[in-house]
Amino acid sequence: MAASRARGLDWQGAQAPSLAELEAIADQAFKRLPRRFRDLCKDVVVRVEDFPTDEVLDALDAESPFDLLGLYHGVDMARQSVMDPAAMPEMVFLYRRPILDYWAEHEETLGHIVTHVLVHEIGHHFGLSDADMHRIEEEAAA
């Protein structure tokens, strides 16, 4: 046991990242996104919550609260009009517990998963293709 502690494998005191810690990871991920992409989404609010609400789960017909890692909430740019009444701010929700569950089951870093979910959900705002989102993720990783 002493040898495993020396190698940093003592997990006894380890805890999952808190909401605030995951929000900090999301903030770092956002700052690594290409500047032109960040500039376009300056009004998008990113929130971290433990789980989606029951209303969201019902609306999406989700079988489990762990089915959803993130959600874009708002009117995507392709459907916005200057004639629309003022609406709630565009928001991206990142769901901590489902993200941590996914992380535990896969061999990706937590930062990579958060970046992927963040780019994917913001991509909905802009109506980006999967290829566009993949390119943005690659630029953020470089």
Any residues with CB less than 8 A from the CB of 89 and at least 6 apart, and which? 43, 44, 45, 74
pLDDT in tens, 76-91: 555 555 555 556 678 8
Domains annotated for the chain, with CATH where assigned, are 17-75+85-141 (3.30.2010.20)
Q: Is the pTM of this model over 0.85?
A: no
Query: Over its length of 142 residues, how does the chain's per-residue pLDDT go in tens digits?
Result: 455 455 566 677 778 999 999 999 999 999 998 888 888 787 788 999 999 999 999 999 999 999 999 999 876 555 555 555 556 678 899 999 999 999 999 999 999 999 999 999 988 778 888 898 888 888 887 6
Cα torsion 102, 14, 107, 31 to 10°: value is 80
